[in-house]
Amino acid sequence: MKTIAILLALGLAGPLPSSAQAAEVTPELIADLTMVEEVRLSADGKWVSYIVGVESGGEGGRAKELWMASVDGAPVQRRLLPNRSRVLVARWSPDGRLAVIAQSEDTPRRRQLLLLEPGTGVMHVLADRFDGDSVEWSPDGRQLGFVRSESAVPARKRPAGEPQVLGAAREGGGSVSRFHTLDVATGVTQARTPLTHSVGDYAWSPRGDGIVAVARPTGASSRPVVTILPFASGAAPRALWPVEDQTIGLAWSPDGKTVAWCGREFTPGSGQLVLMNAEGEPRPRTVQADFPGSLHHILFRADGRLAFGAQENLRVGIYSVAADGSDLRADHPAASFAPGSLGVGSFTKFTISFSADGSRVASMVSGPREPANVIAGPWRGQLTRRTDLNPAVAGLALGAVEDISWRSFDGLQIHGFLVKPPGFDPAKKYPLVVEVHGGPRRSWWATCFLNSSHWAQWLASQGYVVLMPNPRGSEGRGAEFVRANRMDLGGGDWRDVVGGLDHVLTLGYIDPERLALAGWSYGGYLTAWGIGQPEGQRFKAAIVGAGIINLFTRGGAAGGWSDNHWGDPQAIWRHAQEFFSRSPIAHVSRVTAAALILHGDNDSKVPHSQALEFFNGLRAMGVPTEARIYPGEGHSIGRRDHQIDLLNSIARWLRTYVPVDGAAKFSGIPGR
């Protein structure tokens, strides 16, 4: 194990200039905003570590720096590992050390596993080339657990020119994700789970003698199973419960008696929170099934209560239940963070962290004028901000953000946000952009709508009013609301969006002749779908980002969606005509809105061939269209130069077809 002395940079963690230097909203400023993830509290509760994404050089990628901040007194921040350009994971040990997965500036493709002693500035290299993921400390702090992908059958190297064979006849190449441990003192790594089970999400046993995991039996086509995998030689895996939904997280109670599973609300009859016995009969039972929101992160506290972060409508708070699932408490209610909310950016990176005794908690927070900060404090007291990561935002002229709601066609209450331009005058007429979120099990919530995937404040700065609806299928309103568009994509959800448009038009300050529709991912799908519907004829322009255009060809190329949103992994093959009829490409002949199409050419969720289908169909029908395909980008746009181009292109397109001042230059396709 190599040991290195490093320097800790002291000071305020604010990579941006002061607000006096940045008063105008620009794509460059948006691309350079600092975001935060991996917020973790030290065992003694005195320090909170976090990873921030900041601008880097090269082709415009973003570095990820590791910092920590004091929890007591005036905030003090320290940057750790200054010679590492990209820190991916940081986990506190029970004795105050940090295990870190990082990439160095000189070898960005090589990942190292490091052990950092923040108090002394000493760093140990545990693994110079580390290929594991999901690193977590054992309860006694002597081992690090991680998951590594291995070949179940040795893969045979295919000679040049030999065809690739897919399916049951293929030779080798099948992989299994196995749980391993690394002894921190000796550096010895050991595989702890058998090749018979592929491990996904996991949690350590409180005794450190095994794990509970969402594991898929090797070679089986069945769903994964919550399984206890003991380390003892000869001990057999013990299945607790077959998982019926996508997993958000697992937790094992401190007394070793209870395992908690949290899922994504897709499957009817499956709750978000399921408890099961770790010993004896598993007795899986759904608890808090009527919780009026969506869970995002779960963990047991030292006192045995199960805590979770949850979104209630438009905001996120911290709640807890007793070990048996009863006694729901709003420990830090979502409403207490208004006008902002806990959470930053994507909830796939949302965390809550406790000190070892449970007396302190840390998380992340954002709001209309706050892109990202770290928040921490006593469990029963006021949480305070320990960072000021984006001071420039305080000096920006941002639009006012209002909560808004309306009744849909069937009486269902729909919520969302309305963002108005700076200097808004209700006596004037404004163009409107309706921006639909991704998912559909995502939602707009009270964060700062100022990044490359949340365009509302950028559009408001250009003079547009922006409606951000959360139609049925969105998270934050309970399981039934999430499932309300199951088997009905483009149906009730689209009518909810139309209802929001109709409601906003009654307010008197929207020009009905200057309307645009926009969205990314599912929002791109609903945008492309909507402009091909009769109600969509009102829109003069559309922004279609990474949208599914043909449900049938997308399902054949990438898979996955039909199981979650249509209830049957074979649905696309059994009901091809129905799938095609719910595809935007089936209605391209009715589109009249000028459409800008944005996509990454390395998108594995929605292949960019979908964008090309729509572009070619629109062009054949004489609709003004442009496709911008970003090289090397996946389902989101990450490179700084690409983000800037994307934001500038959106503004240019809208100025052309839905101008802020004057009549739209494009009045539609003759005869349609």
Q: pLDDT for 355-389, tens place per residue? A: 999 999 999 999 999 999 999 999 988 999 999 99
DSSP code, position 499 = H
In the chain, how many domains are there?
2
Residues 407 and 495 placed together within one structural domain of the fold: yes
| pLDDT, position 169 | 44
Residues 506 and 391 placed together within one structural domain of the fold: no
Q: Is the pLDDT of residue 10 over 50?
A: no
Residues 391 and 407 placed together within one structural domain of the fold: no
Distance separating alpha carbons of residues 406 and 410, to the nearest angstrom: 11
Per mean pLDDT, which range of 56-65, 103-112, 335-344, 368-377 is the poorest? 56-65
Element (H, E) at 137: strand 133-137
**Residue in the structure block whose two tokens are 């077959």:** 242
The token pair at 563 is: 């199981």
Residues 612 and 472 placed together within one structural domain of the fold: yes
Q: Is residue 477 part of a domain?
A: yes
E strands present in 451-605: 465-470, 510-520, 541-545, 594-600
Element (H, E) at 576: helix 576-581
578-583-589-595 Cα dihedral, nearest 10 degrees? 170
- Using the 3D structure, point to which of 335, 368, 396 is the last residue of a domain: 396
Residues 387 and 525 placed together within one structural domain of the fold: no
C-alpha angle 590-592-594 in degrees, rounded to nearest 5: 135
Mark out the alpha helices in 421-517 (DSSP H runs): 456-461, 479-482, 492-505
- Using the 3D structure, point to which of 351, 372, 396 is the last residue of a domain: 396
Residues 545 and 452 placed together within one structural domain of the fold: yes
| pLDDT, position 312 | 92
Mean of per-residue pLDDT scores for the chain: 88
| pLDDT, position 560 | 58
The token pair at 646 is: 């994307």
Q: Is residue 267 part of a domain?
A: no
Say what the pTM is: 0.90
Q: Which structural domain range is residue 621 located in?
A: 403-657
Q: Is the pLDDT of residue 599 over 70?
A: yes
| pLDDT, position 567 | 61
Q: Is residue 517 part of a domain?
A: yes
Distance separating alpha carbons of residues 476 and 291, to the nearest angstrom: 10
Tell me which residue of 658, 625, 617, 213 sits closest to 462, measured CA to CA: 658
Q: pLDDT-derived band of residue 206, with 50, 70 and 90 as boundaries?
A: very high
Q: Is residue 303 part of a domain?
A: no
Residues 392 and 442 placed together within one structural domain of the fold: no
**Residue in the structure block whose two tokens are 């000679």:** 159
Q: Is the pLDDT of residue 166 over 70?
A: no
Residues 392 and 410 placed together within one structural domain of the fold: no
With beta carbons less than 8 A apart as the criterion, state whether 546 and 526 touch: no
- Using the 3D structure, point to which of 368, 396, 424 is the last residue of a domain: 396
Residues 559 and 584 placed together within one structural domain of the fold: yes
Per mean pLDDT, which range of 278-282, 546-550, 567-571 is the poorest? 567-571
Per mean pLDDT, which range of 258-262, 437-441, 621-625 is the poorest? 437-441
Q: pLDDT-derived band of residue 157, with 50, 70 and 90 as boundaries?
A: confident
Residues 389 and 530 placed together within one structural domain of the fold: no
Q: Is residue 330 part of a domain?
A: no
E strands present in 81-209: 84-92, 98-104, 111-117, 122-127, 133-137, 143-151, 175-183, 189-191, 197-204
CB atoms within 10 A of CB 70: 15
Distance separating alpha carbons of residues 78 and 48, to the nearest angstrom: 10
CATH code, domain with 407: 3.40.50.1820
Residues 552 and 591 placed together within one structural domain of the fold: yes
Top-confidence residue, 439 or 436: 436
Q: Is the pLDDT of residue 394 over 90?
A: no
CB atoms within 10 A of CB 34: 22
Residue length of the chain = 672
C-alpha angle 487-492-494 in degrees, rounded to nearest 5: 110
The Cα diameter of the chain in Å comes to 77
The token pair at 209 is: 């003698």
Tell me which residue of 455, 500, 440 sits closest to 653, measured CA to CA: 455
Residues 391 and 443 placed together within one structural domain of the fold: no
Element (H, E) at 524: helix 522-530
